[in-house]
Structure 1
Amino acid sequence: MMSSCNFFSLDTPNDPNNPSLGSVSQNASRTQVQNLVTGLESRHRDYLFTVTMLYGTMGRELWYLNASDPRWQTDWLGMNGRQATANMFGYLNTYQQPYFAIRQAQTVIDAVSNTNTFTTEEKNAVSGFAKTLMAYQYLIVAMGQYDNGIRIDVKDVQNPGPFLPLAESFTQIKRILDEGNTELSGAGTGNFPLRLTSGFTGNGFGTIAGLRQLNRAIAARLAVYRQDWQGALDAVTASFYSATGSLEAGPAHTFGAPPDTFNPLFFVKNANVSTMMVVHPSVLRDTIAGDARVRAKFFRRTAPVSVTSDGTPLAGLYQDNRFALNTSEVKFFRNEELVLIAAEANAQLNKTTEAVAAINRIRTAAGIGNYTGATTKDALIDEILFQRRYSLWAEPWGHRWVDLRRYDRLNAANVDVTIDRGTIFRQLARPQAEINWDEYVKTR
């Protein structure tokens, strides 16, 4: 933290559209709290590019090829023995940006808690919303840092709390989610009291009920990471899960032309460029014939994007096909993941019939027919991880990397590094600024 990039600092602008912390700490107006909530939504998406590209690279879902700077390949792939140290190029946004969003969420909570311009129900709604997004952002950091643990207590930027081990971090994130859910349950009914983007309102999450369902969806994801299988099923039931509804249903990050920002995952199809996110060859190699997800998500270029780093040529013939425009929204949680969570939790609880039914919902949507394999727990988990690989490909979370790690499968049998001659990473390094801060605290 003793650097120009203080991970827990929040910008303190003075213009009326972005009020300073001092101006909102006591009796903030509705307009001021609205601005803070809008700022939270904006910060909530700032992780998107780096987490998608870096976590996706580490799970070999994709390559982010960039001829302008070979470090996108050499560092992120761990080429020729490179390690994920604190000097790794370009990884800090997986840490900084979530904490900026967490600090923004805390400012929203403090502002709405210390004003008389909102009813009790409205305060609960705003605080519950902020805690829901806060928990999501903590999980992003935890997915990158993993065994390093993370800081949860960052309310006082001059006296942040200690790093907590992963299991305890998960426990604290669950607490924040549960607090948010309790507050949303005390927020009445109807619409959220402040303006949200169409990523929420246009997808059914502009209401109190919708936000509670989102909160429980995140709780279901967390429960799977904690191996709380019944807790996962309980959370799925309370979420926006639908066994028969659209697998695409879910909230989204929105984008637009300046002064907004464009979708950072959009690349023009067939563009003659040397910078591109491409589908990893192993993903293409392992597909099932006729899988509709392949046709929908992967676009075959007329010529590959090629770069050479450390003497190793890398070429991608398929690029992302999901976004039509540079202003297309990006879903950050979808019903398809909830169906897969239900499949996994049921399989782990030996509820074979329910697990297979959920698997078949995914398979039939992909056009590859019902599951006909073995129904042992291990066989079902293998199948579920395979389906997650294609259903959740390159979503802004790095699911493949996360999934292989939590099942202790981060190895050469599951992560193909034969082409890029890279390294299989388990986690990212704790930022040097954090190490410096803790050393400083010992001496002050």
Structure 2
Amino acid sequence: MKTTKKYTLLSIILLMATGFSSCKKLLEVNPQSQITEQVYFKSEGDFQPYVTGNYTSIRAFANSITYGTERSEELINGTNSRLTTVWSQILSPTVGALNYNGQYRAIGNCNLLLNKIDQFSFSSEALKNRLKAETLCQRAYTYFYLVRIIGDTPLMLEAITDDTVPLLPRAKATEVMKQVFADLDLAISLFPEKTYLSKYRFSFGAAQALKAEAKLWSAKVLAGGATDFNDALTAAAAVEASGVSLLPNFKDVTTTRANAEVIMSAYYNRDENGANYGLNALPFLTAISNASNLDSIAYALTSVNGQGGYQISKESRSLFSGLVNDKRVPSTFIIERQGTTQKSAWITKLPGTKYADDRISDNDVIMFRLADIFMIEAEAYAGLNNSAQAITYLNKVRNRAGIGNYAGGTDKTALERAIFDERGREFFFENKRWYDIVRFHFGGTINAYTYVPNLRGKTVPLFWPLSTTVLAANANLVQTPGY
């Protein structure tokens, strides 16, 4: 069964863009159509569009708040409820479970390119190395994405070039992370430049940022301890030296494309790929038409372009309590007023762009930025009981926000809680909070089951279940513990 011969390179890239909806699942059943060497990779010119096409998957992962945000304390329902059962912490193999089709499709694409590229001569060895490095980063990012969602996950490293798909068991998260770090280390060595040719593709700096973030997770969640904390600091230092800088004005961070603070973003443009997840937070006019401060609220004219489905929670708002000079507040949320009554708290983090016909949520989705690197360094130093250095990096973020130097306790418990709270202010609605909660839970700073309102009184695991569809197709898989 070789249906792949029907496809051209363009059609496969378009297939990527639609999420591979017509393909069956890798690691589950034999695929109906495979990307093989019979169709691709006849010359060096075939590799670059293939790598570019795989960024469609990376962008989709970055744009989903299901896993990075919904289970946290950040959001409540707006006027047009968009939150799912995941937000309610209602998870089972049939409700809210992970079907990892898209993730393993992306991994399979990476495996095939890595399997084939060394067979070809390139007119530019630098280009060849860069494409290999980007692909290694794509694979590492996707595996890290899975580890944070389900923990143990199948480790597929071989290219699938026929109809035989291995039914792999779940590998230990520690084993998968070893591969993540191996991929990133090789990628870092292959990038021919340490500058940023594009903020929308993986680069030397983005690879180091991903490594720093992954090492921090490994240090706390996988008990890697001091070794991983130190590795995170080494990677973060490399990012600092890569030519990025903190913007002076916080409001420009999410509204100015590819700015100096950004290390890597997922690109959004209304004419190319529509709206980002901010669409669900942007209110629509009829829902707020009675607001006395309407002119101060970013809104869409219709519910097509603004769903009004999410609002900032009182828990996230409370993180700003007492910080009257915090410059981040206007670019985080705004209180809708009706006369003297405070009604709703709308999210302003991703306000989109106001066009002649309507406002569109087309801000880039930031994956890595320098402020996050500073906070990773603060957290890693705190983990190493180096409070002085932790506070130095914490203050870099606080001072840009206008709230001054940290003056709280310097013991590890107090400092780590301050870092956790600061991350809640700085990175609100940037698809990081649930991962923060899990990391700080395992690190002992918080108890997720008492911190997150919808987790109180529940015993649902912090990792997701696998869907029954996935389990039924692969007898070698076991369910996530607790489901």
TM-score, normalised relative to structure 2? 0.72
Alignment equivalent of 1:226, drawn from 218, 227, 239 = 218
Map 1:326-345 → 2, pairs under 5 A: 326-345=361-380
Deviation at 1:68, TM superposition (A): 7.1
SS in 2 for 1:333: strand
Residue 200 of structure 2 aligns with an amino acid whose one-letter code is: G
Deviation at 1:121, TM superposition (A): 3.4
User: Where does residue 395 of structure 1 map in the other structure?
Assistant: 430
2:116 counterpart of 1:88: no
The answer (yes or no) to whether the contact 1:46–1:97 under 8 Å persists in 2 is no
Distance 1:137 1:11, change over 3 A: farther
Map 1:60-79 → 2, pairs under 5 A: 60-63=73-76, 72-78=83-89
Distance 1:86 1:237, change over 3 A: same
Residue 363 of structure 1 aligns with an amino acid whose one-letter code is: R
- How far apart, in 1, do the equivalents of 2:366 and 2:457 lie? 32
User: Where does residue 114 of structure 1 map in the other structure?
Assistant: 119
The answer (yes or no) to whether the contact 1:256–1:327 under 8 Å persists in 2 is yes
User: Where does residue 280 of structure 1 map in the other structure?
Assistant: 313
| Greater displacement, 350-359 / 15-24 | 15-24
- How far apart, in 2, do the equivalents of 1:48 and 1:369 lie? 32
User: Where does residue 105 of structure 2 map in the other structure?
Assistant: 100
Residue 45 of structure 1 aligns with an amino acid whose one-letter code is: R
2:380 counterpart of 1:380: no
User: Where does residue 263 of structure 1 map in the other structure?
Assistant: 276
2:156 counterpart of 1:153: yes
Residue 316 of structure 2 aligns with an amino acid whose one-letter code is: V
The answer (yes or no) to whether the contact 2:349–2:429 under 8 Å persists in 1 is no
User: Where does residue 264 of structure 2 map in the other structure?
Assistant: 251
- How far apart, in 2, do the equivalents of 1:31 and 1:372 lie? 56
Distance 1:26 1:422, change over 3 A: same
User: Where does residue 298 of structure 1 map in the other structure?
Assistant: 333
Residue 436 of structure 1 aligns with an amino acid whose one-letter code is: A
Distance 1:33 1:301, change over 3 A: farther
User: Where does residue 471 of structure 2 map in the other structure?
Assistant: 435
User: Where does residue 406 of structure 1 map in the other structure?
Assistant: 442
Distance 1:17 1:412, change over 3 A: closer
- How far apart, in 2, do the equivalents of 1:292 and 1:13 lie? 55
Identity of aligned residues (%): 18
User: Where does residue 39 of structure 1 map in the other structure?
Assistant: 53
SS in 1 for 2:10: coil
Residue 213 of structure 2 aligns with an amino acid whose one-letter code is: R
Structure 2, gaps ≥5 residues long: 13-33, 220-227, 248-260, 288-302, 354-360, 479-483
Deviation at 1:59, TM superposition (A): 1.4
Residue 166 of structure 1 aligns with an amino acid whose one-letter code is: A
SS in 2 for 1:63: strand
Deviation at 1:381, TM superposition (A): 0.9
Alignment coverage as a number of residue pairs: 395
Distance 1:189 1:73, change over 3 A: closer
SS in 1 for 2:389: helix
The answer (yes or no) to whether the contact 1:66–1:73 under 8 Å persists in 2 is no
Deviation at 1:159, TM superposition (A): 0.8
Distance 1:39 1:171, change over 3 A: same
SS in 2 for 1:17: helix
Residue 471 of structure 2 aligns with an amino acid whose one-letter code is: I
SS in 2 for 1:373: coil
The answer (yes or no) to whether the contact 1:128–1:179 under 8 Å persists in 2 is yes
Deviation at 1:152, TM superposition (A): 1.9
- How far apart, in 2, do the equivalents of 1:141 and 1:199 lie? 21
SS in 1 for 2:277: coil
The answer (yes or no) to whether the contact 1:220–1:236 under 8 Å persists in 2 is yes
Residue 232 of structure 2 aligns with an amino acid whose one-letter code is: A
Deviation at 1:359, TM superposition (A): 1.1
- How far apart, in 2, do the equivalents of 1:437 and 1:103 lie? 18
User: Where does residue 200 of structure 2 map in the other structure?
Assistant: 199
Alignment equivalent of 1:416, drawn from 448, 453, 470 = 453
Deviations 1:296-319 (A, max 9, x none): 12133357xxxxxxxxxxx95322
Deviations 1:93-112 (A, max 9, x none): 6x333333222322332343
CA RMSD in angstroms comes to 3.3
Deviation at 1:37, TM superposition (A): 1.6
2:187 counterpart of 1:180: yes
- How far apart, in 1, do the equivalents of 2:4 and 2:87 lie? 29
Deviation at 1:73, TM superposition (A): 3.9
Distance 1:250 1:300, change over 3 A: farther
Distance 1:335 1:189, change over 3 A: closer
Deviation at 1:141, TM superposition (A): 1.0
2:351 counterpart of 1:323: yes
The answer (yes or no) to whether the contact 1:27–1:117 under 8 Å persists in 2 is no
SS in 2 for 1:331: strand
TM-score, normalised relative to structure 1? 0.78
Residue 434 of structure 1 aligns with an amino acid whose one-letter code is: V
Structure 1, gaps ≥5 residues long: 1-9, 206-210, 304-314
- How far apart, in 1, do the equivalents of 2:153 and 2:173 lie? 7
- How far apart, in 2, do the equivalents of 1:422 and 1:279 lie? 23
